[in-house]
């Protein structure tokens, strides 16, 4: 009897855990993710094609390809997997992570869409019983509303796409090519002597 009760309790806890995990996995994120990684690799072309292939295997695709960088879109939930692969591909020299919350914009657009659809429904009812004189006016309003609804739907689809797919930029060299400021003042004398360019120059000219 006691054993049966324990088993029931364990099953119950297991179900609760499963529900929680599923809820976490399928909860729709309202933030778009942008990640950038700068890596140094021996064979740039091979790395590029491997990463694109991996992104496609994860359900993503590439949007930009040049000598210096690739930009890929990968399903948001698989961003970490892709970034891990990028890190394994070479020597990481810098990383960046950026998120943008779209909760407010999406909710606002959805509410506006709902309202427009409601008004459109009302106009459609009016259209059925309208006289010749008012027909033109109602028709014009319906056309305008349909255009507005399509625009809103497009905008929502775009935002949802931004949420579904995160953008990962993989650069093969620093994008900002500004050389460190060698003459930047420090209150400590010896720190002013710390400069990579001077070290290289010392070997070059002596």
Partner 1 sequence: MNKENILILTISFFTILLSGCEKKKVVIDEFHQPEGFAVYQSNYQNRSPNRAISSDGVVYRIRKQRNDPVAKLSFWKEALKKRMIDTGYFFVRESNISTEKQKGYLLELTAPYGEQDYSYMIGIFVKGDEIVIAEATGEILRFKKHRKQIIAAIKKIK
Question: CB of residue 118 vs partner 1: minimum separation in angstroms?
Answer: 54
| 177 token code pair | 């090519």
| Alpha-carbon distances, residue 145 vs 40, 122, 183 (angstroms) | 52, 11, 62
Burial bucket for residue 190 (CB in 10 Å: 0-12, 13-18, 19+): exposed
Q: Where does this chain bind partner 1 (CB under 8 A)?
A: 40-42, 91, 93-94, 173-174, 176-182, 184, 186, 188-191, 193-194, 196-197, 199-200, 202-203, 206
Cα atoms in the 13 Å half-sphere on the side-chain side of 148: 17
| 206 token code pair | 């002596």
Question: CB of residue 41 vs partner 1: minimum separation in angstroms?
Answer: 8
Looking up tokens 């004398």 gives: 189
Cβ proximity to partner 1, 166 vs 169, nearer residue = 169
Cβ proximity to partner 1, 58 vs 92, nearer residue = 92
Cβ proximity to partner 1, 1 vs 179, nearer residue = 179
Cα atoms in the 13 Å half-sphere on the side-chain side of 76: 19
Cβ proximity to partner 1, 16 vs 200, nearer residue = 200
Question: CB of residue 199 vs partner 1: minimum separation in angstroms?
Answer: 5
Question: CB of residue 63 vs partner 1: minimum separation in angstroms?
Answer: 24
Using DSSP's 3-state secondary structure scheme, residue 137 falls into helix
């Amino acid at each position: 009897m006691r054993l049966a009760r324990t088993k029931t309790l364990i099953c119950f806890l297991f179900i609760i855990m499963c529900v929680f995990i599923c809820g976490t996995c399928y909860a729709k994120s309202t933030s778009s993710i942008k990640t950038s990684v700068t890596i140094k690799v021996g064979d740039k072309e091979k790395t590029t094609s491997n990463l694109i292939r991996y992104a496609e295997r994860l359900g993503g695709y590439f949007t930009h390809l040049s000598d210096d960088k690739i930009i890929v879109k990968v399903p948001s939930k698989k961003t970490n997997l892709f970034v891990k692969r990028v890190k394994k591909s070479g020597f990481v020299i810098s990383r960046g992570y950026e998120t943008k919350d779209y909760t407010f914009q999406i909710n606002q657009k959805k509410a506006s869409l709902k309202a427009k659809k409601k008004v459109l429904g009302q106009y459609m009812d009016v259209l059925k019983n309208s006289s010749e004189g008012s027909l033109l006016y109602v028709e014009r309003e319906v056309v305008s509303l349909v255009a507005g609804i399509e625009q809103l739907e497009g905008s929502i689809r775009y935002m949802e796409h931004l949420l579904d797919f995160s953008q990962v930029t993989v650069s093969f060299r620093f994008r900002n090519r500004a050389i460190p400021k060698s003459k930047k003042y420090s209150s400590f004398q010896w720190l002013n002597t710390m400069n990579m360019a001077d070290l290289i120059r010392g070997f070059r000219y002596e």
